[in-house]
Structure 1
Amino acid sequence: MRWVLLGALALVTLVGGQETCLSGEEDPYFLFGTKTAYTFSNRGIPTDRHHEVLGCQPAAIWLLSRHGSHNPEADEIPNLQKLVDFKNNIISNYRNGNFRNTNQRICTSDLNLLERWEWNSRLNATFAGDLTSDGYISTQQLAQAWKQRYPGLMTENKYDFLFKYVNDRRSETSYRAFTEGLFREQAETYDVRKENDENKLRPYKFCPAWQKDVEENNDTLGQVRTFESKQEYKEMITNISLRLGFNYDINKEMVENMYDMCRYNKAWNIAQISPWCAVFTKEDLKRLEYAEDLETYYKYGYGNPMNQKVSCAGVKDMMDFFKIHVDNATPQQPKAQIHLTEAPTLLLTLAALNARRDSAPLTGDNYHTNFVQNRKWANSAMAPFNGNLAAILYKCTPNGNFQVKEEHQVLFLENERPLYLEGCRVGLCDWSYVKQRMGVVADNCNMEFCNSATKINGLLSLSVVLVVFSRFLL
């Protein structure tokens, strides 16, 4: 039966004319927002070179490190499983020759890839959200890379480390992978100091004001909806539908399911072609990437002023850690403070540092402008799987480097390469500047505003109760 089907498909190819074959793209697009593999995010940029600061020695490192690739979350699995029936419908379209435009259909080799795709039974509630084997290995490799780069800070001494992460399985797995990368087979015997205060590590989740004004606010996704309402976005869905042989436009949610499966597949196995990626043209993928950039810009970035208020906790943590090392003449422990975190925390912290700030807001109306095409706020570069943000404190010898005029310097790295910050030199900042700019954020970090929404709602509820009660008495 399989050979009969393939023969029929070959006949359709001969009769129907040209096909759109996307799996063989010579220069494929692999920037998939927050589900981008670390390798693709750093492609073409060397990350193995040491960041030496002449006349200076590293004294401490503060590191935010996102987890590696993971299985779909529990609430994603039901939607992704719909692709099983959807795949069968696509094959049926080919079998029945259901095409409004035969010149736009995916090619036979792409269809064969799709036909071989099956749902992995391990993608279930039991393993939902946990690291994949690739995510585990890439986390080990990242730890090894940091140790190789800063051996004086990431030593074999367990007292030189403090790990912070939340109390869930993915974070526990990330901790195990990272420490194995650092200490190899000795990791299990090392009782490294660790903390898991979730209020400090994920403050936005415990901030009612943020939940109300950002998370649950319909306006937060307003620009995403504007972008998706554009004729070109609708035409993208029409073209995808044509490509797959449907006589109607498939719904946006199914397009998003295919996109999620595509980017999960490429993160799990970067060398393998995903049949679901072959559904999209390069321009389709760029539009879908921008839709997620818009979402995070308003949900975690500069699109809402409250994001920078709730994100101050990370900056305060960094400043408190560095002050201990700056204020003491002798070396202090721990030398390395490592936060195993997730994309929202990484994005919020970058916003708190005023990094990757564009000259104008991202909107649903300006996709085709040069400004947006070269935007700084891009999830693929900022928060891929294993994305990281590091700040390294250096102690310098006077006159050891004519460009370094202060005893202490801080080098900021994003995904192992210098992070541009205004007022600094290719990521290298004077300690006085860091104290002035980021110390203000840390010193004014007050999360009391978080409960303002709760207090206001409580007062309103009390007022309503009093009014009703007074009327009852009357």
Structure 2
Amino acid sequence: MRLLLVFLAVLAFSNAHRRRKKKQFCSSSHEEYRMFGDRTFYELVAGNVSTIPERAPQSCVPIQIYMIVRHGARYPGAKHLPKLELLRNFIQQVGEFSQPRLCETDLQGIRDWQVYTDEYDQLNQTEKGANEVKGIARRFKQLFPELLGSDVNVDKFRFRSTNRPQTRMSLESFISEMLSVPDDPETTQRRIDEAIVDVPPVNSDKVYQNNCKNYMAVLNNLSAYIPEFNAFGEGHDISKIIKKLAERLGVERSSISADLLWKIYTYGCKYQQQVDGFNGPWCKVFKRKELKVLQYWDDLRSYETKGPALPLAIQKNCYVAKDVISLMTSTRQQDIAGGEIPPAKFLSVHTSNIATLAQLLKLVTVDRPLTRSNYRMHYYREFDFSKMAPTGGNLVFVLYRCLETEYKMQLYWNERVVRIPGCPEDPNSFCSLNRILELYPNLVVGSETECNQEEICGPYKT
């Protein structure tokens, strides 16, 4: 009998030990997840134009390219420093309420975590961000040498950027690659110096979303416009993550609000991986499936501020979209008349420009709205900001002359050829320029339904 009791006691201890061991959380035992909405690295989701077997049939010649490229990975802004300091202060609570369930390596990573930026980094592009846009420039230059090659005169190109540190620096990186001449640094520098770069005053630029007064009125009253995001943050999925996170950190459940979890995910996790190039300590406190829930939460916010839930967010890209259509239309006219054609235009922009322009062109369709209650229905959603607008995300429009008299457009989205909705099926995803004008009458200058940027956004400063 005594032996049986001893055996049962040993068994109970062993089971309890296994249960305690099972509850310990260690990131090395879980598959890494790196999809972080608009902070997702380009290389993780983009295509590669250098692998395209055939860009166009021989009867078609490219005559113009318009590249709209989001800036590469960057540092947070100075306005984010208080949020980072808040996380640093929160770390002092780790382990005060209970024994943390994190394994020692991950726990030490949190305790050693420091604010990873300062006011001098203010929005500056990271080295990885520079390499992202350089790679894009290099691959398109190889794909379209007749438009972008080293023998094309620099004064034929037009470069433009919004007047923000991240876009200006990205454009500089882009230009340094686009205008480079192999094994000739002197000529390369001369070409860079001769580049015509337009950087409008920050307060009057119609490309920069912060100058759209009606849109900024929404962002200044943000909570009223993101009810689904707010409700999801108070729901079961987020509550479950908070409970697990409190156990892993050894803090009281009540010390982690939905707002604090959002700051941990946004500023501690996804922003820092933009700077370091890999998942840091705050990313490692979550399981892969939890990061997917947080990604959906992030997408919900984008859906309500940069998506179908807020038509204004999409319509405010009227100016950029019209510029593309207008340039292609005038190029056709110049070409027919035998005039000189500018071969390329480049525009360095922001997340919102890429994501909302894609929606304005109807490249993204949402059959079922994203809401607080249908996360599992959207597990494989089309409205996925990680794929829509990663760092370096881009939309590239190419105009071709075919058989001397027909003009067709081809569209690349993050280095993948995409068929423009409403255009006939085509092996090269070509669409006639005439069909483009029929599909988007609101983007045609002079049409009865032409969109008006100032009616959409309110008056701009001059």
Q: Which TM-score band (shorter chain)?
A: 0.7 to 0.9
The 2-side partners of 1:36 and 1:83 are apart by 22
Superposition pairs of residues 102-251 of structure 1, within 5 angstroms: 105-120=101-116, 123-156=117-150, 157-184=153-180, 185=185, 186-187=188-189, 189-197=192-200, 199-202=204-207, 204-213=209-218, 216=221, 218-249=223-254, 250-251=256-257
Change (3 A) 1:14 1:301: closer
Cross-structure match for 2:326: 320
Q: 2:362 aligns with which of 354, 357, 374?
A: 354
| Whole-angstrom CA distance in 1 between matches of 2:273 and 2:194 | 35
Aligned-pair distance for 1:87? 3.2
Give the letter for the 1:30 counterpart.
Answer: R
Deviations 1:281-339 (A, max 9, x none): 11221122112212222222211232333221111000111112211234744211111
Aligned to 1:417: 416
**Which digits, 9 at most, give the CA deviation of each residue in 1:360-412, with x for residues without a partner?**
2222221111xx122211110011111111111111127xxxxxxx8222111
CA distance in 2 between partners of 1:66 and 1:451 (Å): 21
In 2, Cα distance between the equivalents of 1:29 and 1:427? Answer: 32
Q: Which runs of 5+ in 2 are unaligned?
A: 1-16
State the 1:116 CA deviation. Answer: 4.5
How high is the TM-score relative to the length of structure 1? 0.81
Three-state SS of the structure 1 residue aligned to 2:131 is: helix
Give the secondary-structure state (helix, strand or coil) at the position aligned to 1:130.
coil
**Deviation, structure 1 residue 26:** 5.7
Partner of 1:381: 387
Are the structure 2 counterparts of residues 116 and 420 from structure 1 closer, same or farther at C-alpha, using a change threshold of 3 Å?
A: farther
C-alpha distance after superposition, 1:191-213 (max 9, x if no partner): 21222235454354333333335
Cα displacement (A) at 1:214:
6.1
Q: Is the 8 A contact 2:49 2:143 kept in 1?
A: no
Matched residues, percent identical? 22
8 Å CA contact retained: 1:319, 1:439: no
Q: Unpaired runs of 5+ in structure 1?
A: 1-12, 399-405, 455-474
1:20-71 Cα offsets, whole Å, 9 max, x none, are 44532564211000111112223xx554313511132211111111111111
The match for 2:32 is 28
Partners of 2:155 and 2:194 within 8 A in 1: no
> Offset of 1:449 from its aligned partner?
2.0
Q: Which amino acid aligns with 2:89?
A: D
Structure 1 residues 115 and 219, CA gap change in structure 2 (3 angstroms): closer
Superposed displacement of residue 81, structure 1: 2.4
CA shift digits 1:167-192 (9 cap, x unpaired): 23222211211111122342464321
The one-letter amino acid paired with 1:429 is C
1:69, 1:225 → 2: CA distance?
A: 27
Say if 1:214 and 1:304, in contact at 8 Å, map to a contact too. no
In structure 1, the residue matched to 2:72 is 68
TM-score where L is the length of structure 2? 0.83
Amino acid paired to 2:103: C
Q: 2: distance between equivalents of 1:411 and 1:276?
A: 42
Structure 1 362/453 Cα, relative in aligned 2: closer, same or farther at 3 Å? farther
How far has the Cα of 1:247 moved from its partner? 2.5
Contact 2:75 2:274 in 1 (8 A): no
Contact 1:154/1:160, CA 8 A, preserved across alignment: no
The structure-2 alpha-carbon separation of the partners of 1:215 and 1:442, relative to structure 1 and needing over 3 Å to count, comes to farther
CA contact (8 A) 2:50 2:142 kept: no
Contact 1:21 1:109 in 2 (8 A): no
1:461 maps to what in 2? none
